[in-house]
């Protein structure tokens, strides 16, 4: 279960209510038109999950449980969401498989990661929506050479899965060489694709509870379109109206497990909202991600006494389901901190979270808190949809195209020129 608390004045008067109603209607039209497909991924994911389960029974290595290392080759939206879910849920998932992520052409990272991979126990999942992402293709070529994988070998191709748009270059390569492929819906953008084949396939192959993840996501998206999540729309409205005064949005998550979820949020938020609006203005909200309690010893200083140009969202977990305690131990010269003896680390971390949140509020900094009763697949599914819907709603208020990324494409064009002059 997720709980939402807002500590800011959204000033929801008649004009604001009309604007919110208009935005909600636009999102409903996006969903019903079929132009934007991520809204339907949770519901459609169950049939995809059935396809993955059938594949497990036909693949010679999966059928015999010989695959232990699943290597995801993808970048940005093709890996960040999956990595986020994997890190959040892996401690509570009973599986003998590990996911590894190759998402950067950093040669040191590639070398270090592949040192852990034995071909005889590995499966390689190549993910590219366009089918020709330069980083992904380059790493895949290197893996083909390093592990002496041959397109002519049916056995080798049983170790490779492709996830891409139907008809893409990667899709055609897979079809030609009898590589199993799963397709991303054409109306789903990369950064909104975590609950498509991009995330569902690797997580399901690693025996994660994808069914519950989808149920949590579907419950939240249904609740939103039933008009039961007005706080999300009010928050989006507030962000858009104070964007010039508060151009920076800080996500402050109180668990190291959220590190990659935070990175996913940064991509989603930055790539979706940093745009030129319909009258030619540059708009956007700069995302910053922090981990408590680590960053409260540094960045909190800037939030409290630096420029008042930030909104803050604190994410808190009530129960970590880990009962470890601070020992009742007295250390010479350190008796002034003995007040914490005997308390659970869970209690200490949440007290630090509450103290940080209260301090931020006391300084009249716009803030809100999202509380998870515990880390579960259902809660993570709901949280994913919460942030995707929030992003779409802010985009509506900004009057931008939330789903394109022309600035990113400019950089890709320049990269090609550097190698083709």
Tens of pLDDT along the chain (421 residues) come to: 899 999 998 888 999 999 999 999 999 999 999 999 999 999 999 999 999 999 999 999 999 999 999 999 999 888 999 999 999 999 999 999 999 999 999 999 999 999 999 999 999 999 999 888 899 999 999 999 999 999 999 999 999 999 999 999 999 999 999 999 999 999 999 999 999 999 999 999 999 999 999 999 999 999 999 999 999 999 999 999 999 999 999 999 999 999 999 999 999 999 999 999 989 999 999 999 999 999 998 999 999 999 999 999 999 999 999 889 989 999 999 899 889 898 999 999 999 999 999 999 999 999 999 999 999 999 999 999 999 999 999 999 999 999 987 766 666 666 667 667 6
What span, in angstroms and rounded, lies between the C-alpha atoms of 206 and 201?
9
**Omega of the bond leading into 124 within 30 degrees of 0 (cis):** no
- If DSSP codes are grouped into helix, strand and coil, which group holds residue 115? coil
Is the distance from CB of 206 to CB of 71 less than 8 angstroms?
no
Cβ neighbour number for residue 297 with a 10 Å cutoff: 10
pLDDT number for residue 405: 75
pLDDT number for residue 418: 67
- Of 292, 295, 343, the C-alpha closest to 316 is 292
pLDDT number for residue 230: 93
pLDDT number for residue 420: 76
Is the distance from CB of 263 to CB of 249 less than 8 angstroms?
no
Q: Is 54 a catalytic residue?
A: no
Look up residue 11 and give its DSSP letter.
-
- Of 140, 144, 163, the C-alpha closest to 152 is 144
pLDDT number for residue 31: 96
- φ and ψ at residue 308, rounded to 5 degrees: -85, 70
pLDDT number for residue 306: 97
What span, in angstroms and rounded, lies between the C-alpha atoms of 73 and 65?
21
- Of 188, 105, 171, 163, the C-alpha closest to 139 is 105
pLDDT number for residue 78: 87
Domains and CATH numbers, the chain: 2-32+213-407 (3.40.50.10490), 36-208 (3.40.50.10490)
Catalytic residue among 297, 321, 343, 374: 297
pLDDT number for residue 398: 96
Assigned token pair, 351? 């007290």
pLDDT number for residue 412: 64
Cα dihedral sign, 406-25-17-249: negative
Catalytic residue among 29, 154, 278, 412: 412
Tell me the whole-structure pTM to 2 decimals.
0.94
pLDDT number for residue 256: 95
pLDDT number for residue 359: 96
Q: Is 297 a catalytic residue?
A: yes
- Of 31, 38, 117, the C-alpha closest to 71 is 117
224: left (phi over 0), alpha (psi -120 to 50) or beta: alpha
Q: Is 310 a catalytic residue?
A: no
Q: 66: which residues sit within 8 A by CB, 6+ positions away?
A: 120, 121
pLDDT number for residue 77: 85
What span, in angstroms and rounded, lies between the C-alpha atoms of 152 and 178?
10
Catalytic residue among 30, 271, 378, 388: 271
């Amino acid at each position: 279960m997720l709980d939402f608390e807002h500590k800011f004045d959204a000033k929801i008067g008649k004009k604001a209510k009309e604007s919110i109603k208009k935005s909600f209607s636009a999102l409903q039209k996006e969903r019903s038109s079929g132009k934007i497909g991520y809204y339907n991924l949770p519901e459609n994911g169950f049939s995809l999950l059935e396809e993955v389960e059938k594949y497990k029974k036909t693949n010679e290595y999966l059928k015999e449980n010989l695959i232990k290392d699943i290597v995801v080759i993808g970048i940005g939206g093709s890996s960040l969401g999956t990595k986020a879910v994997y890190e959040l849920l892996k401690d509570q998932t009973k599986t003998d498989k590990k996911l590894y992520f190759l998402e950067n052409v950093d040669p040191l990272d590639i070398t270090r990661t592949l040192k852990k991979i034995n071909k005889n126990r590995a499966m390689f999942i190549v993910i590219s929506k366009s089918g020709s992402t330069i980083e992904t293709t380059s790493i895949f070529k290197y893996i083909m050479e390093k592990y002496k994988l041959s397109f002519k070998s049916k056995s080798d191709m049983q170790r490779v899965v492709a996830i891409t748009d139907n008809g893409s270059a990667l899709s055609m390569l897979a079809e030609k060489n009898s590589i199993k492929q799963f397709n991303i819906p054409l109306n789903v953008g990369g950064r909104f694709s975590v609950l498509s084949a991009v995330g569902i396939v690797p997580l399901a192959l690693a025996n994660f509870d994808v069914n519950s993840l989808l149920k949590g996501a579907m419950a939240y998206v249904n609740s939103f379109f039933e008009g039961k999540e007005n706080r999300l729309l009010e928050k989006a409205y507030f962000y858009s109206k104070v964007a010039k005064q508060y151009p920076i949005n800080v996500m402050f998550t109180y668990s190291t497990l959220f590190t990659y979820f935070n990175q996913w949020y940064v991509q989603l938020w930055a790539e979706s909202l940093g745009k030129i609006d319909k009258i030619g203005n540059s708009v956007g909200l700069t995302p910053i991600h922090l981990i408590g309690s680590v960053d409260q010893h540094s960045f909190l200083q800037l939030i409290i006494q630096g420029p008042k140009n930030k909104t803050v969202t604190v994410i808190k977990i009530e129960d970590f389901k880990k009962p470890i305690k601070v020992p009742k131990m007295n250390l010479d010269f350190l008796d002034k901190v003995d007040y914490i003896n005997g308390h659970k680390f869970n209690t200490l971390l949440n007290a630090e979270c509450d103290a940080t949140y209260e301090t931020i509020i006391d300084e009249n900094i716009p803030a809100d808190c999202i509380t998870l009763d515990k880390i579960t697949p259902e809660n993570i599914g709901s949280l994913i949809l919460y942030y995707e819907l929030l992003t779409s709603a802010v985009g509506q208020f900004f009057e931008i195209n939330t789903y394109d990324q022309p600035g990113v494409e400019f950089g890709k064009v320049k990269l090609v020129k550097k190698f083709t002059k």
